[in-house]
Amino acid sequence: MQDVSVLALWRCLERRGAPDVYVTEFFRAHRESRPERGIVRSIVDFETKRPVIAQMIGNEPADLVRTARYLEDHTPCAGIDVNLGCPSPTVCGKTAGGALLRQPDLIRRIAEALRPAVRGSLTLKTRIGFESPDEFEALLALFETLPLDGLAIHGRTVRERYQSDVHADAIAAAVARLPYPVVANGSIVSARTALAMHARTGAAGLMLGRGAIRDPWVFADIRAAFAGERRARPTLRDLRDYLTELTEEVSREGTFPRELDHVNRLKKFANYIVSGLAGGQLREELRRATTLTQFQQSCQTHLDRDDPFPPEPEEDGTLFCGFGELVAGS
């Protein structure tokens, strides 16, 4: 979650239930790269008792090894993860992220180079293919032989980006076959969709991205659901307070040359947070906001209410697709 899985968000999540493990936005590893200071700070300055995994993206084993060694020597990260799933055309155009799924021999070289260099856990984040889910069988044969501690699988291809249903059957096949834990990812936005994903896949863990930005209470809801309990939903006023706190935390990240820069930074989060609220008026107002006053006034106008915050988006757009009939509309 580049530009959004950041320290400001993590601090807000930590106060509202928190995940069991945090994963950074990706460190770019190439010949001239040095680990980005802001991402390093998200590990070093974050006050949590939970493990933080440093994620990297790149295609040259030596550069990835150099970056991994720096991160383990200079931060308290618990492990290293390599991104094989980013569908961004810019990233894939550099033969990184999801584009690596077209080069299985390079994936092997990367994993085998990193294994002796990484002291903590070594994991990969992947999709189930580049063009077609039919590619996943060959990828599974590769992953089965790699020296990994785990694999996170986003149940879509690179071409499908975020628009298709999740291929939960592919994740289930990996769970049954691989000799290490598999974490399921893709359209988990609530306790209901988390239970559905686990039931379909039997995965050892669940990874949330966009859904956790929208609903920072979702981790507490999921834990309660697995325990057979039910938590009261936060209100729209709680959501307003979350946005207010996020505004304050973003301001702690550094100074902004213009107020508009601060507002535009907040919009990266708000695009997920208010998605699916009935009517969509708040989302449109925040998109048009150019000052913090406008941003905060819109939140106050639309969210200063005791109505429960819906656990899932009320409008099914491209942001949140589901598992076909099982959890359609999530």
Would residue 52 count as lying in a domain? yes
Claim to verify: residue 190 and residue 245 sit in the same structural domain: no
Claim to verify: residue 76 and residue 42 sit in the same structural domain: yes
Would residue 326 count as lying in a domain? no
Q: Nearest-CA neighbor of 28 among 18, 19, 38, 15?
A: 38
Claim to verify: residue 183 and residue 292 sit in the same structural domain: no
Q: Residue 45 is encoded by which pair of tokens?
A: 């300055």
- When divided into structural domains, the chain yields a total of 2
- What's the maximum distance between 2 C-alpha atoms anywhere in the chain? 55
Would residue 28 count as lying in a domain? yes
Claim to verify: residue 214 and residue 292 sit in the same structural domain: no
201: left (phi over 0), alpha (psi -120 to 50) or beta: alpha
pTM: 0.91
Claim to verify: residue 189 and residue 250 sit in the same structural domain: no
Residue 187's CATH number: 3.20.20.70
Claim to verify: residue 167 and residue 102 sit in the same structural domain: yes
SS3 percent helix, strand, coil of the chain, rounded to 5, is: 45, 10, 45
Q: Residue 245 is encoded by which pair of tokens?
A: 């706190």
Would residue 312 count as lying in a domain? no
Claim to verify: residue 21 and residue 123 sit in the same structural domain: yes
Would residue 187 count as lying in a domain? yes
Claim to verify: residue 63 and residue 140 sit in the same structural domain: yes
Claim to verify: residue 284 and residue 168 sit in the same structural domain: no
Range of the domain at 136: 7-226
**pLDDT digit string (tens) for the chain, length 330 residues:** 788 899 999 999 999 999 999 999 999 999 999 999 999 999 999 999 999 999 999 999 999 999 999 999 999 999 999 999 999 999 999 989 999 999 999 999 999 999 999 999 999 999 999 999 999 999 999 999 999 999 999 999 999 998 889 999 999 999 999 999 999 999 999 999 999 999 999 999 999 999 999 999 999 999 999 999 989 999 999 999 999 999 999 998 877 889 999 999 999 999 999 987 867 899 999 999 999 999 999 999 999 999 999 999 875 443 333 333 232 222
> What's the DSSP call for residue 235?
B
In angstroms and rounded to an integer, the radius of gyration of the C-alpha atoms of the chain is 20
Active site residues: 86
